[in-house]
Amino acid sequence: MKTPLVVIVGRPNVGKSTLFNRLTKSSDAIVDNVSGVTRDRLYGEADWNGKKFKIMDTGGYVPASTDLFEIAIKEQVEIAIEEADVILFVADGRAGILPVDIDIAGILRSSNKKSHLLVNKLDNTEQGLNKSEFYSLGIKSVWDISALSGRNLGDFLDDLLVDLPEIIEDDDEDTRLRIALVGQPNVGKSSLTNALLGFDRSIVTNIPGTTRDSIDSVLKYYGEEIVLVDTAGLRKKARVKENLEFYSNVRTFRAIADSQITVLIVDAELGLEKQDQKIIDEAVRRRKGLIIAVNKWDLIEKDTHTAKKFEQELRDKLGSIDYCPVIFISALSKQRIYKLIDLAKKVQEERSKKINTSELNDIILPEISNTPPPSTPNGKEIKIKYITQVGDKYPIFLFFANDVKYIPDSYRRYLEKLIRRHFGFEGVPMTISLKDK
């Protein structure tokens, strides 16, 4: 079973981002006392008493129109209900109940999803009495909390765990390769899925957002079963652009987390855009195999240098993620679509590759001796003595040295490039870990 998803909803400036940061033990969400600061939807992981769950912060979008504001809030709650296993409805205990809170509560009551109402900004027991008025919203589970100080959150999380579905470890683990097809609306994700499968598994139109759900399909490829996840995941009826992005992010992030290989599909006419960069960052953060597939290549006027120039422009934008393979395809004409599958299989082999410890040390240590890390501030020489590879699902390389705290990030990147130059790992994010010997 997949990791449970908990979604935080509520109007802006009630403390959703503060709660997200507290639960994920991070500071990823921007927190400000001005409503609507959170523009990018956030997706993270939380762990309470050994039980892990995914958590989504829906942020706070504030358009100019009051009517649009209510539409935005309502649609985000509807999306959350559709996606989430449990919903955390956050309200402001100091401001009291506002009309938008009543609307949100009504939507939650009519759903079958388990919901908790967290009355936030109540910093002590006396202020906690303010939660009594919130029972009128008709949600059974009401908690007075302070996301900032953590007040009552421990007791609440104990209660939350009861509602989360169990993650059942299957003895017959699914070993099939899972490939997430991700990208912005209308870049050809569904068309690519259909072309690979040989029949229309997904609805395809030129309207962005036609595919409502992420769809798992099984591709039979030379006797091997490969799972394709089409993550178009946008609702055609959605009226607010920000909610389209939110819905897309939910689908995309879940697909990346549950797959081994992420194929980012880019429109050949548009190139790599800002939202694509966020998808790449998520795949790298989760150490997933990564491929960029430039679709609709048949529509581009080309000469002998077009592909090379396009790829170089891509790599200039990718920066340090220069290990990511790029392939030019056309879902419409089926150009190179099966080479994409071969490339995905190759990247997965690279993710699973193990380098013998003696070979690793024999090849890399002499290079390090020729270009050692900079000395410590007091002039002491830093020596890397030993290297080994660990990690079952993706490559992790441990470098043992003295005074590792003085080794800069730039040298860490140099070590990664050394390993890639000698051993490959194309399309595979890796971890370089420095340990005191």
Maximum Cα interatomic distance, the chain, rounded to a whole number of Å: 74
Percent of the chain with pLDDT over 70: 80
Q: How far is C-alpha 154 from the geometric centre of its chain's CA atoms? A: 26
C-beta of residue 271 within 8 angstroms of C-beta of residue 313:
yes
Is residue 57 predicted with pLDDT exceeding 90? no
Report the C-alpha gap between 291 and 252 in whole angstroms: 15
In sequence order, which residues have a C-beta less than 8 Å from that of residue 25 and are 6 or more positions away?
A: 46
Is residue 188 predicted with pLDDT exceeding 70? yes
C-beta of residue 40 within 8 angstroms of C-beta of residue 17:
no
| Superfamily per CATH, domain 177-352 | P-loop containing nucleotide triphosphate hydrolases (3.40.50.300)
Would you give the DSSP letter of residue 377? T
Report the C-alpha gap between 83 and 63 in whole angstroms: 24
Torsion of CA 291, 293, 294, 297, to 10 degrees: 150
Would you give the DSSP letter of residue 374? P
Which of these, 119, 123, 149, lies nearest to 134 by C-alpha position? Answer: 119
Report the C-alpha gap between 217 and 227 in whole angstroms: 6
- Identify the pLDDT of residue 38: 38
Helix, strand or coil, per DSSP, at residue 286: coil
Q: What is the pLDDT of residues 249-283, one digit of tens each?
A: 667 777 888 899 999 999 998 889 888 888 899 89
Higher-confidence position of 319 and 247: 319
Domain boundaries, the chain: 5-163, 177-352, 357-436
Amino acid (one-letter) located at 228:
L
Sort 172 into a burial class: Cβ within 10 Å, 0-12 / 13-18 / 19+.
exposed
**Residue 333 — left, alpha, or beta (φ > 0 → left; ψ -120 to 50 → alpha)?**
alpha
- Identify the pLDDT of residue 63: 42
- Band of the pLDDT at 300, cuts 50, 70, 90? confident
Q: Across residues 44-67, what is the average pLDDT?
A: 71
C-beta of residue 280 within 8 angstroms of C-beta of residue 274:
no
Average pLDDT of the chain to the nearest whole number? 82
Is residue 430 predicted with pLDDT exceeding 70? yes
Is residue 355 predicted with pLDDT exceeding 90? yes
**Which two tokens mark 274?**
């800002």
Q: Across residues 166-188, what is the average pLDDT?
A: 76
Phi first, then psi: what are they for 75, rounded to 5°?
-65, -40
CATH level 2 (architecture), domain 5-163 = 3-Layer(aba) Sandwich (3.40)
Helix, strand or coil, per DSSP, at residue 422: helix
- Band of the pLDDT at 163, cuts 50, 70, 90? confident
CATH number of this structure's domain 357-436, picked from the four choices 3.40.640.10, 2.40.30.10, 3.30.300.20, 1.10.10.10: 3.30.300.20
Q: What is the pLDDT of residues 65-79, one digit of tens each?
A: 455 555 666 666 676
- Identify the pLDDT of residue 245: 57
**Which two tokens mark 174?**
């699914």
Q: What is the pLDDT of residues 75-95, one digit of tens each?
A: 666 766 777 889 999 999 999
Amino acid (one-letter) located at 205:
T
Is residue 233 predicted with pLDDT exceeding 50? no
- Identify the pLDDT of residue 391: 87
- Identify the pLDDT of residue 82: 77
- Identify the pLDDT of residue 298: 86
CA distances from 183 to 21, 48, 142, 274, 380 (A): 27, 32, 38, 11, 48
DSSP assignment of 2-40: PPPEEEEE-STTSSHHHHHHHHHTS--S---SSTT---S
C-beta of residue 213 within 8 angstroms of C-beta of residue 254:
no
Q: Across residues 13-28, what is the average pLDDT?
A: 81
Residue 154, number of CB atoms within 10 A of its CB: 10
- Identify the pLDDT of residue 248: 62
Is residue 166 predicted with pLDDT exceeding 90? no
Q: Do domains 5-163 and 357-436 have the same CATH topology?
A: no
CA distances from 280 to 46, 96, 102, 333 (A): 22, 41, 38, 26
- Band of the pLDDT at 103, cuts 50, 70, 90? confident
C-beta of residue 234 within 8 angstroms of C-beta of residue 209:
yes
Is residue 415 predicted with pLDDT exceeding 60? yes
Is residue 199 predicted with pLDDT exceeding 80? no
Q: Across residues 101-118, what is the average pLDDT?
A: 88
- Identify the pLDDT of residue 366: 95
